[in-house]
Structure 1
Amino acid sequence: IYQFRVPESAKSGTSVGRIVATDRDIGKNAEMFFTIVSGDGMDMFHISTDKDTQDGVISVGKPLQPLDFEKKPSYTVEIQVRNTQVDPRFMSAGSKDMATVRIAVEDVDEPPLFYKASYLMEVKEDAAVGVAVGSVSAMDPDGARSMVKYSIDRRTDMDRLFNVHPGNGSVFLLRTLDREESAWHNISVTATEFNNPRQSSHVPVYIRLLDINDNAPTFATIYETFVCERTKAGQRIQTVSAVDADEPSTGHKFFFSLAPEGTHRSNFTVRDNGVTSIVQQCFHRQTR
C-alpha cells in the first residue's frame, strides 16, 4: 500500500508520487505500463510511466472539479502494472500486478468566498445618510472557518459615498445621492480573514439609483415669437416644449399655462399641448 499527500491547491499535472515495480527481464521485455483501474480517485488523478526509470508517476489529472479538502480529504485508487511487450506463450495471472494507493488531500488556507459572484442593489436617490442599501456575505471555506471582516476598496469609491459594516457586510450611505448626476455607482467590497489578513477576496457591487420627482420641468429653449397684426383668433402662433431631468416610470406629461402675470387682459392663451394661440378677434399693432 502506497500513501501520498497532495495540497488541495495543486494544479493539473502536479506530481503526487511514484510507484515502483520490478521486472527480472531486461530491455523492451522490462518496459512497464501503469493504469488506474478502480477507486474513487479515477477521475481526479492520472498515472504515466517514466521511460527512464520505468516508475509509475501519479499526478493530478484534469478533473471537472479541483481538489477540495473540505469536500473530500482523501482518495483511494487501485493501480495495475503490466509489461508493454507480452509474449502470448507466457501470459498468466502473474503477468501483471496490483497496488493500492491512498492519497490524502492537505488543507490549504484559502481566501474568503462570497456567496455571489456580484451584487446588485437599488436605493432611492433621496435616501438619507446612513440608510442601508443592501448587504454582501462571504465565508472562510477552510475547516477553521475564520471570522471575516468587510471593507470598501476606496479606489472604487473615491468620493466616499458608501461604507460597509465590517462585521455583517451591510452597505450604507455616507453622503446624499443624485440620480441626475450619476444613475449608477459601481464599487468593490473586500472580505478579509481576521486570522490571516493576507487572505482576502473582492466582489463587485452595482448600485442603481431609483428616480424620484425632484426636478421641475424647464423649457427646451428660449422662445421669441412674431405674429401678424391681422392674425385670426384661435390661430396657432407658436408651439413650446419642455424637458425634465427626472425619469418617471410612466413617461413625462406636462401641463402648460400662461404665467400669472401674463393672464390679465391677455391677447393669448396656451393650450395644454403647448400651443400658443390668439384669443381676441382683432389685434392691432398700433395698440399692442
Structure 2
Amino acid sequence: MYSIDWRSDLDSYFDIDPAEGTISTNEMLDRETLPWHNISIVATKLNSPVLTSRVAVSVHVLDINEFPPELASPYESFVCENAKVGQVIQLFSAKDQDVPNSGQQFSFKATKDEVRNKNFTIRDFGNNTAGIVTKRGGFRRRSQEIYHLPVVIEDNGYPPKSSTGTLTIRVCGCAADGSLLTCSAEAIFLPVGLSTGALIAILLCIVILLVIVVLYVGLKRQKKKETLMSSKEDIRDNVIHYDDEGGGEEDTHAFDMGTLRNPKVVKDNLFRRDVKPEVKQGPRAPPSKDSADIRAFINQRLKEHDGDNSAPPYDSLATYAYEGNGSVAESLSSIESLAVDAEEDYDYLNEWGPRFKTLAGIFGEQSEARSDSTNTEH
C-alpha cells in the first residue's frame, strides 16, 4: 500500500493511489509562489505492516506564459533643450515573471497612435533593450515641460503576451557638452544667482504685505462706519426728550379750554401761553353774584384736592372752568344743574375703577350736600 507522509505535504497539494502508487495533484500549483515541492512516499506490506520503506520525490512546477512583460523600472528620462535630431536620450529594458524554457526575448515598438509623433520614437536594439530617439531639436521648457511616450512590449512565450508602458520625458537645461544643469521650469524666470529659497521668501513677504494692506483697509472702513453710526445713525436721536414737570402755574398752554367755548366767537385776542400778557388798567367792575359763587366753588375744590391722600406726590394742575351763558353746549358745570340732577345716584362711578375715584368722590359729596340742603328747607 502506498501513502504520502503528511509531514512532507502539510498543505495537501498531492494525493497517491494506494494500490497503483500514481501521484496526482489536489490543488492548483503556482510556480511563482513555490516552484519545487518535496514529498515523502511510504510503501507498506499489507500482511506485515511493520515492513515499510520510504522514498523522497521532488516535484518541479513548470512555467506557462501567463504574465505579460513590463518595464524593468520607472525610468526618469530627460531631453536637453539643445538636443539634436536622432539623438538617443534613454535606454530601457523589460522584465517578465514567466521563465520560458528557451529564455526570455522581448521586442519594443511605439503604439499605432504614436507612429506619427514628431517629437520622439522607439528604437529596438534586438538584445532585450531599446532606446528613446529624438525626431527633432529645439525643445523649450516654456512651451512644454513634460512629454509622455507610450511603448508596446511583447515577449516570445506561447501564446505571446504584451503590455503597454509609458515613459515620461522631461525637458531640461543642459550645458554645451550635454551635462544636466536644471529641469525646473521656474528657473527660466529667475535671474542669475537667485535660488528657489530666495524666490519663496520674496513671495512670502509679498503675501504678508497684501494681508496687512487688506486688514488696514478693512479696519479703516469699519472705523468710518462707526463714525457715521455715531453721527447719523445714533439710536439716541430717536429718543424724544421732555422737560415737563406735569403742570404748574405757567403751564396753561396744554389745557386750552377754547374748544369748549362758542366756535362763533372770534379769536382775535388770544394771547401766547408762554408770555405774560400786558394788563391794561381800567375801571374794575363790581363783583357779581356769579363770580362769588365760582370763587367759592374753586376754593372748596382746591381745599379738597390739597387734602386728598390719593393725589399724586408731584405738582399737578387742577383746572375748573365756567363757560357762561354763551356756550353752545350750555353749562357743563354742576353749579347750574337742575334740581332733578341732585336726585341722580352717582354710586356707579365707584364701580369704574381707581381712575374715576376722584370723580366719584366729587359727585358723592355734592349729592350729600344737596340732600342736607333739601332737608333744611323742608
Alignment TM-score, normalising by the size of structure 1: 0.45
Q: Quick check: which one's helix share is greater? A: 2
Which structure's CA Rg is the greater one? 2
Greater length-normalized contact order (CA 8 Å, ≥ 6 residues apart) = 1
Q: Quick check: which one's strand share is greater? A: 1
Alignment TM-score, normalising by the size of structure 2: 0.35
